[in-house]
């Protein structure tokens, strides 16, 4: 009797529906907040990949194009590894990818993308370590050369370099330059590839959100807008136009793109010094060379 009386009162149903609506709104708010957190984590990961790719590509260009051409113009021959100056301006805190907010990728249709993402980050970290080691080794070489000839007036040849610098440092810098020459472009390509894979996974995993992306572009155009940039939503354009019209703001006209893209010059190859006998082609035992 008491239950029937309670159910017959409109206040009971109003309180019940109010509590149910509050519960549903709380669930929707939590789901929306989680969705925004996932989108933010995905976008920040793509941005970090873009910064890593730019840093690796700038290092490759500085060491093996600009520096190689500089040394070639001075010596009029292919440069040696110890003549390649180290990269200046490495960041104290290189870009990193935080996996804390990317755990939802393990539940996507491509769960291994998270593993590939972290593998690419480790490859980037290895390149940064090699760049720092190259800077340290080259600094030791510079100290030895400065102690040998502070004024730079003495004749300097390969025989003098081997005697002053020493074989160990020359081998160390050769190995570092060789690893960087091979690893920097490979790491750049891996970052670009995994960035595209991450972008596609995020688009499918969260289809109602947009995500940033980056592409391999010429170094001279790294600050230009992408050619396939989508147009903003119509209501945003109309709102911007009405605001400018009401407050008499000056309308912004997009400048025409007149940038001339120049391709990178062909750099000279870097010669190992001194040559190592164990790296030369071996002849069969019992035969002598020419």
Structural domain of 205 = 12-220
* Chain mean pLDDT for the chain: 81
Residue 27 lies in a domain: yes
Number of folded domains in the chain? 1
Residue 7 lies in a domain: no
Residue 226 lies in a domain: no
Q: Yes or no: say if 52 and 254 are a contact pair by the CB < 8 Å rule.
A: no
Output 53 or 236, whichever has higher pLDDT.
53
Residue 39 lies in a domain: yes
Work out the average pLDDT over 104-115. Answer: 89
Confidence of residue 18 (pLDDT cuts 50, 70, 90): confident
- Sign of the CA dihedral running 277, 279, 282, 285: positive
Output 69 or 228, whichever has higher pLDDT.
69
Residue 270 lies in a domain: no
Q: Measured between alpha carbons, how far is 38 from 207 in angstroms, rounded to an integer?
A: 12
Residue 160 lies in a domain: yes
* Residue written as token pair 């940033």: 212
Q: Please report the DSSP string for 110-169 in residue order.
A: -TTHHHHHHHHHHHHHHHHHHHHHHHHHHHHHHHHHHHH-SSS-S---HHHHHHHH-HHH
pTM check: above 0.85: no
Residue 24 has pLDDT above 90, yes or no: no
pLDDT score recorded for residue 235 = 78
Q: Yes or no: say if 64 and 265 are a contact pair by the CB < 8 Å rule.
A: no
Spatial CA neighbour of 81 closest among 278, 277, 274: 274
Residue 209 lies in a domain: yes
Residue 169 lies in a domain: yes
């Amino acid at each position: 009797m008491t239950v029937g009386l309670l159910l017959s009162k409109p206040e009971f149903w109003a309180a019940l529906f109010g509590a149910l609506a509050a519960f549903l709104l709380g669930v929707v708010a939590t789901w929306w907040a989680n969705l925004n957190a996932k989108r933010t984590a995905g976008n920040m990961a793509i941005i970090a990949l873009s910064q890593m790719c730019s840093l690796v590509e700038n290092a490759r260009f500085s060491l093996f194009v600009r520096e190689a051409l500089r040394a070639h113009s001075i010596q009029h021959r292919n440069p040696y590894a110890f003549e390649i100056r180290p990269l200046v301006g490495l960041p104290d805190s290189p870009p990193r990818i935080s996996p804390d907010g990317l755990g939802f990728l393990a539940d996507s249709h491509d769960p291994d993308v998270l593993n590939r993402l972290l593998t690419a980050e480790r490859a980037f970290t290895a390149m940064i370590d090699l760049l720092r080691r190259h800077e340290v080794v080259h600094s030791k070489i510079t100290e030895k050369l400065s102690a040998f000839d502070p004024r730079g007036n003495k004749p300097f040849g390969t025989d003098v370099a081997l005697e002053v610098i020493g074989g160990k440092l020359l081998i160390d810098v050769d190995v570092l330059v060789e690893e960087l020459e091979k690893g920097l472009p490979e790491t750049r390509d891996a970052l670009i590839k995994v960035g595209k894979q991450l972008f596609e996974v995020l688009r499918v995993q969260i289809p109602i959100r947009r995500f940033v992306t980056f592409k391999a572009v010429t170094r001279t155009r790294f600050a230009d807008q992408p050619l396939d940039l989508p147009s903003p939503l119509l209501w945003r354009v109309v709102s911007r136009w009405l605001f400018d019209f009401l407050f008499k703001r000056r309308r912004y006209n997009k400048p025409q793109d007149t940038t001339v893209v120049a391709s990178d010059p062909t750099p000279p190859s870097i010669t190992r010094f001194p040559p190592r006998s164990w790296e030369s082609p071996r002849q069969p035992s019992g035969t002598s060379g020419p």
